[in-house]
Chain A
Amino acid sequence: MNYNPVIDLGRIIYKGAEATLYKGKWFDKEILVKHRIPKKYRIEELDKKLRRTRTIIEGKMLISIKKCNVPVPQVFEVDLNNNWIIMKYIKGQKLKDLIGKIDKSKRKWYFEQIGKYIAFMHKNDFIHGDLTTSNIIITKNKKIFFVDFGLSTKSTKTEDKSVDLHLIKRVLLSTHGQYFEECFESLINGYKLEYGSQSDEIIDRIETIEARGRYIEKNKRKN
């Protein structure tokens, strides 16, 4: 591999479904390299296309979303030959790891802020596409960062915004069941506060989405 010689790749911090992530150094900056390595389980044609389009999307989105005041890591370099993005390393804790270590009022505060930020994105028609508690990082001075925009899209559709909320709702249910009520309620509060009355339709749609893929559909099966 022909990594840029001034980058010290450091060590692997995560092996995800899309990329391998390294925490390294670039001159004296702490950086994160998100390298979309080939996924050999899928055919090359599909693999190349997915890695390339997602690298492009993520690079663009990180830049545009920063402009609407949602904290995301600063991008230093998007390299489409190698399918990697070099960005600022955010020092902090994943929300996933932090959630159980703070008290209820703090949790509620964070989730209200998160709801506001999601509304910021949605008002500007940015759909995150993979909202989870792993993809939100909290820094020491309580700043909330969003990462992982490879699956993000631009869309004006209520449906797409609802799906985004459904994703974070389900992660809260599956991974943080004991805090679900307080966290999701606060998130929705923040979302409504920021988005205004237009958010009602989006929020109402969540339940419809949830009902859809489920077993009731079986009697509508075709075969």
Chain B
Amino acid sequence: MKLKRKICLGIECTAHTFGVSILDFDGNVLSIVNDTYIPETGGLHPREVREHHLECFDKTIIMAITQANLSIKDINLIAFSQGPGLGPVLRVGALIVRFLSQKLKIPLVGVNHCIGHIEIGRLKCGVKDPLTLYVSGGNTIISAFESERYQIFGETLDIAVGNFIDSFARDAGLQHPGGPKIEKLAQKSKKYIPLPYVVKGMDLSFTGLYTAAKNLFKSKDYNRKYNLSDIAYSLQETAFAMLTEVTERALAHTNKTEVLLTGGVAANKRLQEMIAYISNEHNAKYKVVPLKYAGDNGAMIGWTGILKYKEVGADDIEDTMINPKWRMDNVEIPWRS
């Protein structure tokens, strides 16, 4: 008789996306289903996101199980995102998984969202020990594995690059998420307008850039001397050159031989081109995480949960408290030690 393979249900619930994935313990992803909250106007309200996730969680989980051609009884492990993220959103996630775990008697493990991004990248891109540039709406982090942790070598000193682009796009009247729209607009221009370029060692800052870009949009020269495409082009060229510079600095400093690009902003072709360029300059292997695994998703949580479970087993219920400010460099990584 063939040995029954083991199955994990991975649940991502830190921000906009309620993500569910079914995967086996060898890392084969059997299904991946996301339900993403898109605010109609204005800011991101944690409570609205929470309502959204409460509304969709059961359908999303059932859909993921169905697409994997399995039933809930086949699940051997539940993994969930314990932090970092929005408190109210993390709380619903924890509530849902604790309920499922206790009701169905399935072991539960909590994982760090940022580490999930790296681990799914390592799995799906065939890299072993990369320097990772993780760029999304909430994070801008340059990380590598060093003395048993995913250490942070550089990060933003203020807002995340995705947040900067989305904020500017919203001010310019584009719908959320702005990243892909800004990318399209940028492709139509070759006119560079100088903007503030701020790097500090391996850290970066985007608020000055944001203010300057916004001012360009509000200026009386707008649509006379330059248009929205020109601003989009200039802000991308500036922000991505900054990201590439600090990544190269970290690469030279750490001597890693692989570079991994991930997070929602990794979808951007221009950024990919730049990171590929410096990787090549340093004879490092370059990989970008495929779109469905680069943005927030359940598979990254499921896979990290599997790694942890295989090494140290399940969490006790009292160890599944959410941790909204959980730093990745505080997490022990027993599966790589």
Contact in complex: B85, A223 (CB < 8 Å): no
Distance of A144 Cα from B37 Cα, bound (Å): 54
How large, as a class, is the contact surface on chain B?
A: 35 or more
A14 touching B252 in the complex, CB below 8 Å, given contacts A173-B329, A218-B85: yes
> What residues of A have a CB within 8 angstroms of the CB of B245 in the complex?
17-18, 39
Binding site of B, secondary structure by majority: helix, strand, loop or mixed?
mixed
Distance of A18 Cα from B277 Cα, bound (Å): 14
Distance of A41 Cα from B281 Cα, bound (Å): 10
Distance of A46 Cα from B325 Cα, bound (Å): 36
Instruction: Give a binary string over A173-206; 1 marks a CB under 8 Å from any B CB, 0 the rest.
Output: 1110110000000000000000000000000000
Q: Which of B237-252 contact A (CB under 8 A)?
A: 237-238, 241, 244-246, 248-249, 252
Distance of A163 Cα from B198 Cα, bound (Å): 13
Stretch at the interface among B25-33, B64-72, B156-164: B156-164
> What residues of B have a CB within 8 angstroms of the CB of A45 in the complex?
192, 194
A223 touching B44 in the complex, CB below 8 Å, given contacts A170-B152, A177-B147, A216-B325: yes
Is A43 an interface residue when CB atoms closer than 8 A count as contact? yes
Is A75 an interface residue when CB atoms closer than 8 A count as contact? no
Q: Which of A124-150 contact B (CB under 8 A)?
A: 129-132, 134
Instruction: Give a binary string over A31-42; 1 marks a CB under 8 Å from any B CB, 0 the rest.
Output: 000000001111
Contacting B176 at CB < 8 Å: which of A14, A43, A130, A223? A223
Stretch at the interface among A55-63, A84-92, A110-118, A207-215: A207-215
- How many residues on A have C-beta within 8 angstroms of the other chain's C-beta atoms? 42
> What residues of A have a CB within 8 angstroms of the CB of B176 in the complex?
223
A46 touching B241 in the complex, CB below 8 Å, given contacts A173-B151, A215-B85, A215-B324: yes
- Where the two chains meet, the residues of B that have a C-beta atom closer than 8 Å to any C-beta of A are 15, 39, 43-44, 46, 83-87, 137-140, 146-147, 149, 151-153, 155-160, 163, 166-167, 170, 176-178, 192, 194, 197, 199-203, 237-238, 241, 244-246, 248-249, 252-254, 273-274, 277-278, 281-282, 324-327, 329
Q: A170-B202, A222-B166 are in contact. List 9 more A-B contacts (CB 8 A).
A: A46-B241, A170-B153, A171-B201, A174-B152, A174-B329, A212-B158, A213-B155, A221-B44, A222-B170
